[in-house]
Structure 1
Amino acid sequence: MRVLSEVHRLDGYPLNWPDRPGEWLSRGPLLGSWVADLDGRLAGHVGLSPAGEGDLAPTLWSERNGTTRAMAAVVGRLFVAPWARGHRIGALLIGRAAEEARRRGLHPVLDVVTSDTAAAALYERLGWELMATVEQQWSPHQTVAVHCYAAPS
Protein backbone atom coordinates (compact mmCIF):
# COMPACT_ATOMS: atom_id res chain seq x y z
CA MET A 1 0.00 0.00 0.00
CA ARG A 2 2.97 2.28 0.61
CA VAL A 3 4.01 2.22 -3.07
CA LEU A 4 0.44 2.72 -4.27
CA SER A 5 0.03 5.62 -1.85
CA GLU A 6 3.21 7.24 -3.17
CA VAL A 7 2.04 6.82 -6.78
CA HIS A 8 -1.32 8.36 -5.87
CA ARG A 9 0.30 11.31 -4.13
CA LEU A 10 2.66 12.05 -7.04
CA ASP A 11 0.61 11.00 -10.08
CA GLY A 12 -3.01 10.93 -8.95
CA TYR A 13 -3.37 7.19 -9.63
CA PRO A 14 -5.79 5.81 -8.84
CA LEU A 15 -7.91 8.84 -9.62
CA ASN A 16 -10.17 8.11 -6.63
CA TRP A 17 -8.25 6.80 -3.62
CA PRO A 18 -10.02 3.63 -2.43
CA ASP A 19 -11.27 3.26 1.14
CA ARG A 20 -9.51 -0.11 1.32
CA PRO A 21 -6.50 -0.07 -1.02
CA GLY A 22 -5.63 -3.73 -0.41
CA GLU A 23 -9.12 -4.81 -1.40
CA TRP A 24 -9.03 -2.48 -4.41
CA LEU A 25 -5.92 -4.29 -5.66
CA SER A 26 -7.43 -7.75 -5.20
CA ARG A 27 -11.16 -7.06 -5.62
CA GLY A 28 -13.28 -9.09 -7.97
CA PRO A 29 -12.41 -12.17 -9.92
CA LEU A 30 -8.73 -12.03 -10.77
CA LEU A 31 -7.06 -14.16 -13.40
CA GLY A 32 -3.75 -13.17 -11.88
CA SER A 33 -1.69 -10.37 -10.42
CA TRP A 34 2.04 -9.80 -10.40
CA VAL A 35 4.53 -7.60 -8.63
CA ALA A 36 7.99 -6.58 -9.67
CA ASP A 37 10.91 -5.93 -7.42
CA LEU A 38 14.06 -4.00 -8.08
CA ASP A 39 17.02 -4.43 -5.78
CA GLY A 40 14.81 -6.30 -3.33
CA ARG A 41 12.19 -3.54 -3.09
CA LEU A 42 8.62 -3.65 -4.36
CA ALA A 43 8.69 -1.66 -7.59
CA GLY A 44 5.35 -2.25 -9.29
CA HIS A 45 2.10 -4.17 -9.67
CA VAL A 46 -0.34 -5.27 -12.38
CA GLY A 47 -3.53 -7.33 -12.39
CA LEU A 48 -5.51 -9.26 -14.97
CA SER A 49 -9.27 -9.71 -14.72
CA PRO A 50 -12.08 -11.12 -16.80
CA ALA A 51 -14.24 -8.53 -18.57
CA GLY A 52 -16.47 -6.88 -15.97
CA GLU A 53 -19.86 -5.26 -16.35
CA GLY A 54 -18.56 -1.69 -16.40
CA ASP A 55 -15.48 -2.30 -18.56
CA LEU A 56 -15.74 -0.54 -21.92
CA ALA A 57 -12.56 -1.82 -23.60
CA PRO A 58 -13.78 -5.46 -23.81
CA THR A 59 -17.02 -4.29 -25.44
CA LEU A 60 -15.19 -2.19 -28.04
CA TRP A 61 -12.76 -5.01 -28.79
CA SER A 62 -15.50 -7.62 -29.13
CA GLU A 63 -17.55 -5.37 -31.45
CA ARG A 64 -14.51 -4.84 -33.69
CA ASN A 65 -13.68 -8.53 -33.81
CA GLY A 66 -17.13 -10.10 -33.94
CA THR A 67 -16.64 -12.01 -30.72
CA THR A 68 -17.94 -11.87 -27.16
CA ARG A 69 -16.69 -9.73 -24.29
CA ALA A 70 -15.77 -12.95 -22.51
CA MET A 71 -12.93 -13.40 -25.01
CA ALA A 72 -11.12 -10.34 -23.59
CA ALA A 73 -9.16 -9.93 -20.36
CA VAL A 74 -8.62 -6.57 -18.69
CA VAL A 75 -5.14 -5.46 -17.68
CA GLY A 76 -5.42 -3.09 -14.75
CA ARG A 77 -4.15 -1.80 -11.45
CA LEU A 78 -0.79 -1.09 -13.09
CA PHE A 79 1.58 1.14 -11.20
CA VAL A 80 5.33 1.55 -10.84
CA ALA A 81 7.04 3.17 -7.88
CA PRO A 82 8.36 6.60 -8.84
CA TRP A 83 11.90 5.68 -7.73
CA ALA A 84 11.85 2.59 -10.00
CA ARG A 85 10.79 4.27 -13.24
CA GLY A 86 13.07 4.12 -16.23
CA HIS A 87 13.85 0.41 -15.75
CA ARG A 88 11.11 -0.94 -18.09
CA ILE A 89 9.17 -2.34 -15.13
CA GLY A 90 5.83 -1.09 -16.47
CA ALA A 91 6.52 -2.72 -19.84
CA LEU A 92 7.56 -5.98 -18.16
CA LEU A 93 4.44 -6.07 -15.99
CA ILE A 94 2.14 -5.32 -18.93
CA GLY A 95 3.91 -7.98 -20.96
CA ARG A 96 3.45 -10.55 -18.19
CA ALA A 97 -0.27 -9.83 -17.87
CA ALA A 98 -0.74 -9.91 -21.66
CA GLU A 99 1.15 -13.20 -21.85
CA GLU A 100 -1.16 -14.76 -19.25
CA ALA A 101 -4.26 -13.48 -21.06
CA ARG A 102 -3.07 -15.03 -24.32
CA ARG A 103 -2.16 -18.28 -22.56
CA ARG A 104 -5.81 -18.44 -21.52
CA GLY A 105 -7.01 -17.75 -25.07
CA LEU A 106 -8.06 -14.19 -24.21
CA HIS A 107 -7.15 -10.88 -25.82
CA PRO A 108 -5.70 -8.24 -23.45
CA VAL A 109 -7.42 -4.86 -23.32
CA LEU A 110 -7.32 -1.95 -20.90
CA ASP A 111 -8.55 1.53 -20.28
CA VAL A 112 -6.81 4.54 -18.80
CA VAL A 113 -8.08 7.96 -17.79
CA THR A 114 -7.15 10.54 -20.41
CA SER A 115 -5.30 12.63 -17.83
CA ASP A 116 -2.77 9.80 -17.34
CA THR A 117 -0.68 10.76 -20.35
CA ALA A 118 2.43 8.87 -19.21
CA ALA A 119 0.52 5.57 -19.08
CA ALA A 120 -1.10 6.21 -22.48
CA ALA A 121 2.33 6.97 -23.96
CA LEU A 122 3.67 3.69 -22.54
CA TYR A 123 0.83 1.65 -24.04
CA GLU A 124 1.31 3.29 -27.42
CA ARG A 125 5.10 2.72 -27.32
CA LEU A 126 4.33 -0.95 -26.69
CA GLY A 127 2.09 -1.07 -29.78
CA TRP A 128 -1.29 -1.10 -28.06
CA GLU A 129 -4.06 0.22 -30.32
CA LEU A 130 -6.23 3.10 -29.16
CA MET A 131 -9.76 1.90 -30.00
CA ALA A 132 -11.68 4.93 -28.71
CA THR A 133 -11.86 7.67 -26.14
CA VAL A 134 -15.17 7.56 -24.30
CA GLU A 135 -16.92 9.08 -21.33
CA GLN A 136 -17.55 6.68 -18.48
CA GLN A 137 -19.88 7.26 -15.52
CA TRP A 138 -17.96 6.27 -12.38
CA SER A 139 -20.53 7.57 -9.94
CA PRO A 140 -23.67 9.73 -10.01
CA HIS A 141 -21.43 12.79 -9.72
CA GLN A 142 -18.35 11.75 -11.67
CA THR A 143 -17.95 11.28 -15.41
CA VAL A 144 -14.45 10.45 -16.58
CA ALA A 145 -12.95 10.35 -20.07
CA VAL A 146 -10.98 7.15 -20.71
CA HIS A 147 -8.86 5.83 -23.56
CA CYS A 148 -9.64 2.21 -24.43
CA TYR A 149 -6.73 0.14 -25.77
CA ALA A 150 -6.28 -3.33 -27.22
CA ALA A 151 -2.99 -5.20 -27.20
CA PRO A 152 -1.34 -5.81 -30.55
CA SER A 153 -2.36 -9.08 -32.18
Structure 2
Amino acid sequence: MTSDPVDTPALSVRPRVPADLDDCVGVLALTHAHSRYPVNWPAAPAAWLNPPTLLAAWVAEADGRIVGHVALCRGEDGDPAPALWAARGSGVPAVCVNRLFVAPKARGLGAGAALTGRAVGEARSLGGHPVLDVVATDPAAAFYARLGWQDLGRVDQRWGPDQVVPLRCYAAPVSGKRTG
Protein backbone atom coordinates (compact mmCIF):
# COMPACT_ATOMS: atom_id res chain seq x y z
CA MET A 1 0.00 0.00 0.00
CA THR A 2 1.30 3.44 -0.85
CA SER A 3 0.26 6.78 0.47
CA ASP A 4 -0.02 9.97 -1.44
CA PRO A 5 2.64 12.55 -0.64
CA VAL A 6 1.42 15.38 1.49
CA ASP A 7 2.31 18.87 0.43
CA THR A 8 3.61 20.85 3.36
CA PRO A 9 4.60 24.44 2.88
CA ALA A 10 8.26 25.35 3.25
CA LEU A 11 8.65 26.93 6.68
CA SER A 12 11.30 29.50 7.52
CA VAL A 13 11.99 31.87 10.39
CA ARG A 14 13.62 35.24 9.82
CA PRO A 15 14.03 38.54 11.67
CA ARG A 16 10.95 40.73 11.55
CA VAL A 17 11.34 43.95 9.55
CA PRO A 18 9.12 47.06 9.76
CA ALA A 19 7.37 46.17 6.49
CA ASP A 20 6.09 42.95 8.17
CA LEU A 21 3.97 44.71 10.78
CA ASP A 22 0.73 44.92 8.78
CA ASP A 23 0.87 41.21 7.98
CA CYS A 24 1.73 40.41 11.61
CA VAL A 25 -1.28 42.41 12.80
CA GLY A 26 -3.45 40.48 10.32
CA VAL A 27 -2.23 37.13 11.65
CA LEU A 28 -2.69 38.40 15.21
CA ALA A 29 -6.32 39.32 14.39
CA LEU A 30 -6.97 35.83 13.02
CA THR A 31 -5.37 34.30 16.12
CA HIS A 32 -7.42 36.51 18.43
CA ALA A 33 -10.67 35.60 16.66
CA HIS A 34 -9.81 31.89 16.79
CA SER A 35 -8.03 31.48 20.14
CA ARG A 36 -8.61 34.69 22.12
CA TYR A 37 -4.90 35.57 22.05
CA PRO A 38 -4.23 38.14 23.17
CA VAL A 39 -6.98 38.03 25.78
CA ASN A 40 -7.53 41.78 25.43
CA TRP A 41 -7.25 43.10 21.87
CA PRO A 42 -4.72 45.96 21.95
CA ALA A 43 -5.88 49.46 20.99
CA ALA A 44 -2.77 49.77 18.80
CA PRO A 45 -1.78 46.24 17.68
CA ALA A 46 1.39 47.30 15.81
CA ALA A 47 2.60 49.16 18.90
CA TRP A 48 1.75 46.11 21.04
CA LEU A 49 4.09 44.10 18.82
CA ASN A 50 6.82 46.70 19.51
CA PRO A 51 6.94 47.10 23.30
CA PRO A 52 9.58 49.49 24.67
CA THR A 53 11.49 46.51 26.10
CA LEU A 54 11.81 44.78 22.68
CA LEU A 55 15.20 43.21 21.99
CA ALA A 56 14.35 41.32 18.78
CA ALA A 57 11.41 39.83 16.88
CA TRP A 58 11.02 37.14 14.22
CA VAL A 59 8.35 35.93 11.85
CA ALA A 60 7.65 32.48 10.51
CA GLU A 61 6.83 32.19 6.83
CA ALA A 62 5.20 29.32 4.98
CA ASP A 63 5.38 29.56 1.21
CA GLY A 64 6.41 33.19 1.51
CA ARG A 65 3.49 34.25 3.72
CA ILE A 66 3.82 35.31 7.35
CA VAL A 67 2.14 32.71 9.56
CA GLY A 68 3.63 33.43 12.98
CA HIS A 69 5.52 35.83 15.21
CA VAL A 70 7.60 35.89 18.38
CA ALA A 71 9.36 38.66 20.32
CA LEU A 72 12.17 38.69 22.84
CA CYS A 73 12.06 41.41 25.49
CA ARG A 74 13.78 42.58 28.64
CA GLY A 75 11.72 41.92 31.74
CA GLU A 76 10.00 44.81 33.45
CA ASP A 77 9.15 45.42 37.09
CA GLY A 78 6.07 43.39 37.85
CA ASP A 79 6.69 40.73 35.19
CA PRO A 80 6.01 37.48 37.06
CA ALA A 81 8.15 34.99 35.11
CA PRO A 82 11.43 36.93 35.53
CA ALA A 83 10.65 37.40 39.22
CA LEU A 84 10.02 33.68 39.73
CA TRP A 85 13.19 32.86 37.78
CA ALA A 86 15.26 35.32 39.86
CA ALA A 87 13.89 33.78 43.06
CA ARG A 88 15.56 30.51 42.04
CA GLY A 89 18.93 32.21 42.49
CA SER A 90 20.64 31.06 39.30
CA GLY A 91 22.36 34.42 38.80
CA VAL A 92 21.46 34.32 35.09
CA PRO A 93 19.11 37.18 34.16
CA ALA A 94 15.75 36.36 32.64
CA VAL A 95 14.87 37.36 29.09
CA CYS A 96 11.17 37.21 28.16
CA VAL A 97 9.80 35.30 25.19
CA ASN A 98 6.47 36.84 24.29
CA ARG A 99 4.06 37.91 21.55
CA LEU A 100 4.19 34.32 20.22
CA PHE A 101 1.32 33.44 17.90
CA VAL A 102 0.71 31.26 14.87
CA ALA A 103 -2.11 31.60 12.35
CA PRO A 104 -4.82 29.00 13.03
CA LYS A 105 -4.50 27.46 9.55
CA ALA A 106 -0.71 27.14 9.95
CA ARG A 107 -0.77 25.21 13.22
CA GLY A 108 0.90 21.84 13.08
CA LEU A 109 3.62 23.00 10.67
CA GLY A 110 6.18 23.52 13.43
CA ALA A 111 6.10 27.32 13.30
CA GLY A 112 5.55 27.73 17.05
CA ALA A 113 8.46 25.45 17.92
CA ALA A 114 10.72 27.08 15.30
CA LEU A 115 9.91 30.59 16.54
CA THR A 116 10.40 29.55 20.15
CA GLY A 117 13.72 27.93 19.30
CA ARG A 118 14.96 31.09 17.58
CA ALA A 119 13.99 33.27 20.55
CA VAL A 120 15.60 30.85 23.01
CA GLY A 121 18.84 30.80 21.02
CA GLU A 122 18.98 34.59 20.93
CA ALA A 123 18.19 34.90 24.65
CA ARG A 124 21.07 32.57 25.43
CA SER A 125 23.43 34.41 23.07
CA LEU A 126 22.63 37.56 25.07
CA GLY A 127 23.62 35.77 28.29
CA GLY A 128 20.05 35.44 29.55
CA HIS A 129 17.71 32.61 30.38
CA PRO A 130 14.40 32.50 28.46
CA VAL A 131 11.20 32.74 30.50
CA LEU A 132 7.58 33.42 29.64
CA ASP A 133 4.10 33.50 31.04
CA VAL A 134 0.85 32.29 29.54
CA VAL A 135 -2.75 32.69 30.68
CA ALA A 136 -3.29 29.62 32.87
CA THR A 137 -6.46 28.59 31.02
CA ASP A 138 -4.79 28.82 27.59
CA PRO A 139 -4.15 25.43 25.96
CA ALA A 140 -0.75 26.81 24.88
CA ALA A 141 0.54 25.85 28.32
CA ALA A 142 0.68 22.24 27.11
CA PHE A 143 2.82 23.36 24.14
CA TYR A 144 5.56 24.66 26.46
CA ALA A 145 5.48 21.48 28.52
CA ARG A 146 5.97 19.42 25.32
CA LEU A 147 9.02 21.56 24.52
CA GLY A 148 10.48 20.74 27.94
CA TRP A 149 9.92 24.12 29.60
CA GLN A 150 9.97 24.09 33.42
CA ASP A 151 6.83 25.22 35.22
CA LEU A 152 7.87 28.04 37.57
CA GLY A 153 4.43 28.43 39.12
CA ARG A 154 1.10 30.17 38.87
CA VAL A 155 0.44 33.79 39.76
CA ASP A 156 -2.53 36.12 39.56
CA GLN A 157 -1.72 39.38 37.80
CA ARG A 158 -3.85 42.52 37.74
CA TRP A 159 -4.36 43.72 34.15
CA GLY A 160 -6.66 46.58 35.07
CA PRO A 161 -8.96 47.79 37.81
CA ASP A 162 -11.51 45.04 37.10
CA GLN A 163 -9.36 42.25 35.65
CA VAL A 164 -7.17 39.75 37.46
CA VAL A 165 -5.71 37.05 35.22
CA PRO A 166 -4.19 33.75 36.37
CA LEU A 167 -0.84 33.19 34.66
CA ARG A 168 1.36 30.10 34.42
CA CYS A 169 5.08 30.96 34.26
CA TYR A 170 7.75 28.87 32.55
CA ALA A 171 11.53 28.79 32.12
CA ALA A 172 13.25 27.20 29.13
CA PRO A 173 15.12 24.00 29.86
CA VAL A 174 18.82 24.27 30.49
CA SER A 175 20.99 24.32 27.35
CA GLY A 176 21.13 21.11 25.39
CA LYS A 177 17.57 20.03 26.15
CA ARG A 178 14.43 20.41 24.01
CA THR A 179 13.25 23.93 23.29
CA GLY A 180 11.75 23.74 19.85
TM-score tier by shorter-chain length is over 0.9
Partner Cα separation in structure 1 for residue 40 and residue 52 of structure 2: 18
Q: Secondary structure at the match of 1:26?
A: coil
2:103 corresponds to: 81
1:128 corresponds to: 149
1:116 corresponds to: 138
Q: Secondary structure at the match of 2:49?
A: helix
Partner Cα separation in structure 1 for residue 45 and residue 145 of structure 2: 28
Letter in 1 for 2:40: N
Q: Secondary structure at the match of 2:155?
A: strand
1:13 corresponds to which of 23, 30, 37? 37
1:11 to partner: Cα distance: 0.3
1:47-83 Cα offsets, whole Å, 9 max, x none, are 0001111210001011112537xx1100000000011
Maintained 8 Å contact 2:53/2:75: no
2:165 corresponds to: 144
Counting matched residue pairs gives 150
Matched, 1:54 2:65: no
Q: Which runs of 5+ in 2 are unaligned?
A: 1-24, 175-180
1:114-151 Cα offsets, whole Å, 9 max, x none, are 1211x111100000011101111111110000000000
Normalised to the residue count of structure 1, the TM-score between the two structures is 0.95
Normalised to the residue count of structure 2, the TM-score between the two structures is 0.81
Letter in 2 for 1:96: R
Partner Cα separation in structure 1 for residue 32 and residue 82 of structure 2: 26
- The correspondence of residues 27-38 of structure 1 with structure 2, limited to 5 A, is 27-38=51-62
1:63-115 Cα offsets, whole Å, 9 max, x none, are 112537xx110000000001111011000000100100000000000000012
More helix as a share of residues: 1
Please identify runs of 4+ aligned residues in structure 1 that moved more than 4 A.
none
2:123 corresponds to: 101
RMSD: 1.0
